[in-house]
Structure 1
Amino acid sequence: MTIAFITGATSGFGRATAERFAEAGWALVLTGRRRERLDELERRLAGKCPVLTRVLDVTDAQAVTECIAHLPEAFRAVSVLINNAGLALGTAPAQDSDPEQWQRMIDTNISGLTRVTHALLPTLIAQGRGSSIINLGSIAGHWPYPGGNVYCGTKAFVEQFSYALRCDLKGTGVRVTNLAPGLSESEFTLVRTGGDRAAYDQLYQGADPIQPEDIAETIFWVANLPAHLNVNQMEIMPVSQAWSPFSVHRDNTPD
């Protein structure tokens, strides 16, 4: 039985990925902070594959350790870790940002991701050839933008952490991928804007953005590549998104 462990499985990319892997009959360990959503997802997928759900906040070090240490025997041999749990908070420039939001992003996107990874590394190494860590990064980790400040920094960390893991895991058979989506439509944006539906609609209007199912299909493809292949980095954008010229501030103050 092939087992995937997915963090942040209750919405967006995580939920769509759980559904895609379930269609293929994978066994799933699904974690998230919202019990009611986990229960609904378990009911939805239970007829397709073995499913284990656990309420887990990745920012809680003890909870992560206990969750992974006490997986039932049938779900212990995890061969694919999908580090999806993450968030962005706020769009203000750094000087106007809330430092508590900064810390929450760091705790989730960096500390949470590394904590789950470290706890599962012995299991993944034991599975050996063909096992995978797939980290959800972002184009924000490579291409900064106004208001991105700490969020961009956390995703840059995810990219470099993924590369460094590849170095350390050479010879173990464990593969590591940083998947960096661009403009994507999900609850993620509503969280970032504090539930501002108008801002959400304006961002996606006419853009035909990436959908959670697109990322789920990509993750599934990466996880199912031949065991001798590793996708180090995959940056994926909607066709509507591209780069713009560098921003230049011009001082128009008269001499």
Structure 2
Amino acid sequence: MVNLLRADLYMLRRTPAVALCLLVCAVAAGLHVWLMHLLAADALDPAAANGVPALSDAMLVGLLGPLLVGTVVARSFETKSVHDALLGAGRGPFVASRAVVAVGAVILLAVPYGVAALVALGSDAAFTAAVPTSFSVLAAGPKDPSTATVARVAVITVVTGLVYAGKLAICLPLAFRLRPVVVMAAGFTWSFAGDLVFSSLRDVEGLGALARLTPFAEEYNVTMSSTVGDMVAATGVSVGAVAAMGGLAYLMFRKADVK
């Protein structure tokens, strides 16, 4: 399993799509925070204001995360290294390794937004959150450029990335059957459809508890005001979602013909 993880991480570093997606997120995060500042300064015309949500972490991670999940899984089949991996470790470790690396790739996409939020917190400029995502709320929050703030933002970035990975976990089984571009479309659609469905369940009597068992629950959008318990709960639910979809991917992969 350890050797598989090392091989997968090496493959991840050598995959152009990963660097490209990370670059896109870095540019989008910078532009998003800049537009939040212009919005706070009332210097943004209505037409440009409509583009602020399009650069948010919810949009970019929701779009590029599924692409990376599909790429991580498909890469072994494209290079035919899947045969060596299965001979050396078996199907279970193979699927588990792909799941861990895919989660890491999604968390990596959240890092530029965490850095941008940290820069905003350390500046004297004002920012207005156009969308209620964790990083937008962070950037628009009270200024506190302390070491404790840096550490807390780092933790929030990892937890938020993990929550996104939990939301996109459905891409794992899909990636064993579909091309990365199709997985991207399906995952992007599900990330917003899931938010809509489970936010509706929250207001239905008796079904609110069901929504809290998924990463789509509103309380898992962690911020500076979130408690340690909130972050542990968000982490646990997200890991559970990834584990469940990883198990489904294992079952689907067992029935697939490895060529």
Where on the TM-score scale, by shorter chain, does this alignment land: which range? Answer: 0.3 to 0.5
Q: Which structure features the higher share of helix residues?
A: 2
Q: Which structure features the higher share of strand residues?
A: 1
Structure possessing the higher relative contact order (Cα contacts under 8 Å, 6 or more residues apart): 2
For normalisation by structure 2, the TM-score amounts to: 0.33
